[in-house]
Amino acid sequence: MKVPLSWLRQYVDVNLPAAELAHRLTMAGVEVGEVQETGGWDEVYVGSVTAVRPHPNADRLRLCTVTTGSASDGGVEELEVVCGAPNVAAGQKICFARVGAHLYNAHSGRYETLAAARIRGVESQGMICSELELGLGDDHSGIIVLPDDAPLGEPLSDYLGDTILDLELTPNRLDCLSMLGVAHEVAALTGGAVTEPEAGYEEAGPPAAQRVSIAIADPDLCRRYTATVIDGVSIGPSPQWLQDRLIRAGLRPISNVVDVTNFVMLEYNQPLHAFDFHAVKDATVIVRRARPGEKLTTLDGVERVLNPENLVIADSNDPIGLGGVIGGANSEIGPQTGTVLLESANFAAANNRETAQAMGLRTEATLRFEKGLRPELAPMALRRATALIQQVAGGTAAPGIIDVYPEPPDSPPTVTLTMRRLRQSLGMDVGITQAQAALDSLGFHCAQSSRDDGDSGGGDAGGALEVAIPWWRNDVNIEDDLVEEVVRVIGYDAVPTVMLSTPIPFHSPSPAIALREAVKDLLAAGGMQEVINYPLASMELLERAVPVGGETPPMRIANPMSATHEYLRPTLQAGLLATLAANQSHGPGPFRLFEAGRVFLPRSGDLPEEVETVAALLAGRRSETSWHNPMGGGAAGGGGAMDFFDAKGMVEWLLERVGIGGAVWEPGEHSVYQPGRCAVVRHSGGELGFVGEVHPSVRERFGLDSGPVAGFELRLAALLEALPESERHFVSLPRFPAATRDLALIVPADIPAGRVTGLILRHRLVQRAELFDIYSGENLAPGTKSLAFHVHFQAADRTLTNEEVSRSLDGLLRTLEREAGAALRS
C-alpha cells in the first residue's frame, strides 16, 4: 500500500519528519517498508508559456517564450526555449528547467546537466519537461501541463515533490489499505485529529429507488448492497489532481468515473463499481449465485465459465459483474456512457476469496473484501463517490440511495475491556484513564462500564470499558484485541521485564532426542562431518540409490516447486551420495559424512511414519596425504582407501560408546551395498541397521570417483530399544595377572571369523581374545584358512597356574574342533 503524504495530509496533520513517522508506524504494527521521496529537482520551476511561434528551420520544433515571473532589467524575465512537444500551447503552466538543471536525457539514457544549446540555429535557454525527463513517469510523448493554479516561479520540488510511505501490511490490518485508516493511525501516534472528507452533493429528479430495482437473492454472500444513479455524466480523463493521487498511490488513471471509484476505495477502503446504467437490462439488479455454466466476459477480456459457488451481479437476465471481484465487459463504462449505476456493496469474505483464487484474480477489490469489510462502510463510500463523480464528470444524482440490507445488526459492535484482563495479559496495571485515552486516540468510542472487574477493588486500576469499534476497523473482535490496541499505543517499553516465576513444569525428557544427539556427538568426535540434506528429492535421484516405487512408493508433494524436490525421501542414502559426489568435485577427500535425519514411510490414510535414521559414507584414503605420508596411509589400519571395515569399526565403536553390547554381525543384503560386502547388525533379534560398501553400479549412477565407498545406516529407534535399561555399572579392575597364549587355527574357509571368536570368548577363564592374523593360500589345504588369536586367560580371584591355563586351553581346542572343525596349525 503506497501512501503519498500529500494525500494523507488531506485528512490529518503530519507534523513529523517522514522518517520519524515511518518509525512510529512500524513500531505500532504498520510496517513502513520504504520511504520514497520524489522531487529534489534543482533549477526546475513552475513556468508559464507566454507565446509559441514556429521554428524558422524545423517543421516539428517550435519556439516558446517562457517566464517564471522573476524580475529582470526590463520588467519580467522572458526566455526563449526550443520545444518539440506536440501539446505545448501558449498560456500553459509547465515545468521549466533552467540551464544547470539535472535531467534524464531520453536519447543518452542518462541523467545529464542541461546546458544552453543551439538547436537548428536557434539558442534554447532551458527546457520544458516531460514526465520522463523529471523521472516522474515513462511518458515522453509530450510535456507535463500543470493546473492553471500552479504557483508561477515556485521550485517544482516544493510544488510536485512528495513523500510516499510504502506499507508492508500484515493481513489483519485491512484498515491501513485506506488513507483514512492510515490517517487514524497517524492521529493516534501524533496526537492529531482526523478530518473526514465532504460527501454532500446535489440531487434532482425521481428518487434513485424508483429508477432501479435491486434484490439480494443470496444474503449469505452479500450482506448489503447500496447504489446511486447519476445521469448526464460526461466520461473523459480525470482532472490532474485526481490522476496525480492515483498515480502516486500506484494506480493507473482510466477515466473520470472509474478513477473516482478507485480514489474512494483508496480513501475509505470500500471497493465500488460503476455500471453503464443503460446496459443493465430492465433496470434490475439481482445479486445471486451464478447458474451452472453461466458465462461472463470480465473487464480483463477473459470469458469465464461460472458455477454456483460464484456470486454474480446480474441484470434481469445475465451476469454483469463478478460480485466484489471484477466487473463485466457488457456493462463497462465507456465514452458513450451517460448514466451511471454506482454500486457499493458488502460481500462475504470467504466466498469472495475462494472465487478470486479459483479465477486466479487478485484484484484490489478482492484484497479488501476477502478480509471482511464492515457493512456500515457501504453507504458512506457510496455518498462520497457520488459527490466526486458529480464534481469531476458532471451530471445529476437521483435523490436518495438504494440500500438493501437484509439483516442489519441492532447496534454497532462493541467489545468489553476489563482492567483485570489488561493486568492478566500484560502483567502491569494500566489505569482506566490511560487505557481509555489510548483507545480514544485510535478513534474507538469508550464508555466506562458500571461493571466491576471483581478483583481489584475498583478505582483507576479496576473497572471496565465498553468499547465501540469504529467502522474502519475489522480486526478488533475480542477483549485481547483491545489489549493489543492499548499496549501498542502506550508502547511495549512501558511493560515491565520480569522473569518467569511460576514453577518449572516437569516434562519427561525424550530419550530418543538424547540418543540422537549423543550419536551425532560421537560420530563427529570419530572424525565424521555432519551434513543436512533436503528431505525432498526427485524420483530419479532416489532411484539411483535404491529401488523405489513398488508397493509403497514414496509420498509425493502435490504442488512441488520443481521435480528436484518432489518426493519425501524414504532413505538418507540418495542425498548423502549426491552430497559426496558434489564434494568430490572439490578435492580427493578423505570424506567421512553423516546425516541424522528423518525418512518418511507412507501409512495408509495417516501421516507417514517419520523414522529417525543416521547414515554415513566414508570414501577416499584413510588419512589425508601430507608430507608425513605422501600416499595417505599411516593412520590406524594402514594406508589405502577406506573400506567396509572402516565403516564397521565406526559402528562398533559407536555401539560400544552408547552402551549397546552384544550386537550380532551377519552377512546382509541391502540394495545400496555390494552383495558379499554388506552386513546386517542385529541385537536381540531386532535389526539395528546395515553396514556395507556401496554397490559399484550405485557409485557409477552418482558419478562418484573410482574406489570403494563404505557406509552404514542405523535406525535410532532400534538403537534405543537395544540400550540397556539400567545405568552402567563399574567393573572392578583386575587384581591378578592374565596369561596370554597365541592360538593359530586351521578352519574351513566358510566358517566366519566372528563365529570362532565367539566360541573362544564364551570359554571358561578366557577374558578376551584378539584376532591378529588371517591367512589362506600356500601351505594350507584348499578350502581352509588360518586364524591366529591372542587369547587372554584371567581369573578374578587368583593368579592362574600354568596347569590351569593349559587345561582350559585344551578344553577350548576340543570345543573349537567340535563346533567349528578347527585344528591347531602345526
Partner 1 sequence: MVQPTQQNIEDLAGAALAELSALDSLESLEQWRIAYLGRRGSLTVVLRGLAGLDIEERRRIGALANQAKQSLESGLEARTREINEAALLRAAQEDRLDVTLPGRYPAEGRLHPTTQIVREICAAFAGMGFSVVEGPEVEWDHYNFEMLNIPKGHPARDMWNTLWVDYTNEAGEQPMLLRTHTSPMQARVMESRRPPVRVIVPGKCYRYEATDATHEWHFYQVEGLAVDEGITFANLKGTLYEFARRLFGEERRVRFRCDYFPFVEPGVDMSIDCFACQGASGQAQDGGCRICRDSGWIEIMGAGMVHPRVLSGVGYDPDKYTGFAFGLGPERIAMLKYGIDDIRHFYANDLRFLRQF
Residue 521 Cβ vs partner 1, minimum distance, rounded to whole Å: 8
Q: Using CB under 8 A, which of 62, 371, 473, 682 touches partner 1?
A: 371
The C-alpha atoms of residue 574 and residue 542 are separated, in whole angstroms, by: 5
Is residue 102 within 8 Å of residue 111, measured between CB atoms? yes
Among positions 333-352, residues that touch partner 1 (CB under 8 A) are 349-350
Is residue 81 within 8 Å of residue 146, measured between CB atoms? no
510: its cell numbers: 525424550
Closest CA to 597 of 632, 622, 572: 572
Closest CA to 326 of 288, 293, 367, 289: 367
Q: Using CB under 8 A, which of 434, 583, 625, 767 touches partner 1?
A: 583
593: its cell numbers: 559424512
Sequential DSSP letters for 237-303: PPPHHHHHHHHHTT-----HHHHHHHHHHHHHS---EEEEGGGSGGGEEEEEEPPTT-EEEBTTS-E
E strand or H helix that includes residue 404: strand 402-404
Choice between 288 and 488, CB closer to partner 1? 488
Stretch that binds partner 1, among 282-290, 465-473, 592-600, 679-687 (CB under 8 A): 592-600
Q: Using CB under 8 A, which of 17, 33, 560, 696 touches partner 1?
A: 560
E strand or H helix that includes residue 678: strand 673-683
Q: Is 428 in the site for partner 1 (CB under 8 A)?
A: yes
String of contacts with partner 1 for each residue 654-683, x by CB under 8 A = ------------------------------
Residue 114 Cβ vs partner 1, minimum distance, rounded to whole Å: 30
Choice between 256 and 579, CB closer to partner 1? 579
Residue 519 Cβ vs partner 1, minimum distance, rounded to whole Å: 11
Residue type, 85: A
Residue type, 585: S
Q: Using CB under 8 A, which of 354, 403, 429, 705 touches partner 1?
A: 354
Sequential DSSP letters for 766-811: EEEEEEEEEE-STTS-TTEEEEEEEEEE--SSSPPPHHHHHHHHHH
Stretch that binds partner 1, among 105-113, 430-438, 460-468, 483-491 (CB under 8 A): 483-491
Choice between 350 and 781, CB closer to partner 1? 350
In the three-class reduction of DSSP (H, G, I as helix; E, B as strand; rest coil), residue 565 is classed as: helix
The C-alpha atoms of residue 297 and residue 320 are separated, in whole angstroms, by: 9
The C-alpha atoms of residue 679 and residue 692 are separated, in whole angstroms, by: 6
Residue 176 Cβ vs partner 1, minimum distance, rounded to whole Å: 11
Choice between 495 and 788, CB closer to partner 1? 495
Q: Is 71 in the site for partner 1 (CB under 8 A)?
A: no
Choice between 604 and 802, CB closer to partner 1? 604
Among positions 164-203, residues that touch partner 1 (CB under 8 A) are 170-173
Q: Using CB under 8 A, which of 60, 149, 410, 561 touches partner 1?
A: 561
Stretch that binds partner 1, among 50-58, 134-142, 300-308, 424-432 (CB under 8 A): 424-432
The C-alpha atoms of residue 528 and residue 653 are separated, in whole angstroms, by: 13
The C-alpha atoms of residue 24 and residue 491 are separated, in whole angstroms, by: 10
Stretch that binds partner 1, among 122-130, 208-216, 325-333, 473-481 (CB under 8 A): 473-481
Residue 169 Cβ vs partner 1, minimum distance, rounded to whole Å: 9
E strand or H helix that includes residue 743: strand 739-748
Residue 82 Cβ vs partner 1, minimum distance, rounded to whole Å: 42
In the three-class reduction of DSSP (H, G, I as helix; E, B as strand; rest coil), residue 600 is classed as: strand
Stretch that binds partner 1, among 49-57, 400-408, 531-539, 732-740 (CB under 8 A): 531-539
Stretch that binds partner 1, among 197-205, 251-259, 475-483, 725-733 (CB under 8 A): 475-483
Choice between 337 and 474, CB closer to partner 1? 474
Angle between helices 256-268 and 377-393 (to 10 degrees): 150
Q: Using CB under 8 A, which of 273, 353, 715, 785 touches partner 1?
A: 353
Residue 482 Cβ vs partner 1, minimum distance, rounded to whole Å: 10
Q: Is 649 in the site for partner 1 (CB under 8 A)?
A: no
Q: Using CB under 8 A, which of 277, 591, 673, 793 touches partner 1?
A: 591
Choice between 520 and 741, CB closer to partner 1? 520
Q: Using CB under 8 A, which of 559, 706, 779, 826 touches partner 1?
A: 559
String of contacts with partner 1 for each residue 491-530, x by CB under 8 A = -xx-xxxxxxxxxxx-x-xx--x---x--xx-xxxxxxxx
In the three-class reduction of DSSP (H, G, I as helix; E, B as strand; rest coil), residue 493 is classed as: helix
Q: Is 490 in the site for partner 1 (CB under 8 A)?
A: no
* CA 56, 58, 59, 63 torsion-angle sign: negative
Is residue 748 within 8 Å of residue 784, measured between CB atoms? yes
Choice between 172 and 757, CB closer to partner 1? 172
Applying CB under 8 A, the site for partner 1 has a residue count of 89
Closest CA to 207 of 404, 390, 398: 398
Among positions 609-638, residues that touch partner 1 (CB under 8 A) are 610, 623-624, 626-628, 634-635
